[in-house]
Amino acid sequence: MKLEARGVVKAYGIHRALDGATFQTESDARVVTLLGPSGGGKSTLLRVLGCLLVPEAGQVLMDGTQLPNNEVGALRERRKNGFVFQGYNLFPHLTALENVALPLRAVHGVSAAQAEARAREMLDRLGLIGHEMKHPAELSGGQQQRAAIARALAPKPRLLLLDEPTSALDPVMTGEVLDVIRELAENGQQIVLATHEISFARKVADWVVFLAQGQVQESSTAEDFFTRPQTALAQQYLEGLAKYR
For 174-201, how does the pLDDT look when each residue is reduced to its tens digit (9 = 90+)?
A: 888 888 888 898 888 999 999 988 888 9
Are 97 and 120 a contacting pair, CB within 8 Å?
yes
The predicted model scores a pTM of: 0.92
Residue 88 pLDDT exceeds 80: no
Q: What is the length of the chain?
A: 245
Alpha-carbon distance 42 to 171, whole Å?
A: 23
Q: Please give the Cα distance from 36 to 177 (Å, whole number).
A: 21
Write down the pLDDT at residue 169: 80
Structural domains in the chain plus CATH codes? 3-80+158-242 (3.40.50.300), 91-157 (no CATH)
Residue 245 has pLDDT above 60, yes or no: no
C-alpha 144 chain-centroid distance = 16
Q: What is the pLDDT of residue 243?
A: 61
So what's the pLDDT on residue 168? 75
Other CB atoms within 10 Å distance of the CB of residue 3: 24
DSSP H/E element including 193 = strand 191-194
> What is residue 244's predicted lDDT score, i.e. its pLDDT?
56
Q: Across residues 127-155, what is the average pLDDT? A: 94
pLDDT band at 46 (very low <50, low <70, confident <90, very high): very high
- Could you give the angle at the alpha carbon of 244 between the alpha carbons of 241 and 245, nearest 5°? 85
State the Cα–Cα distance between residues 36 and 207, nearest whole angstrom: 14
For all residues of the chain together, what is the average pLDDT? 92
- Alpha-carbon gap, residue 101 to 164, rounded angstroms: 24
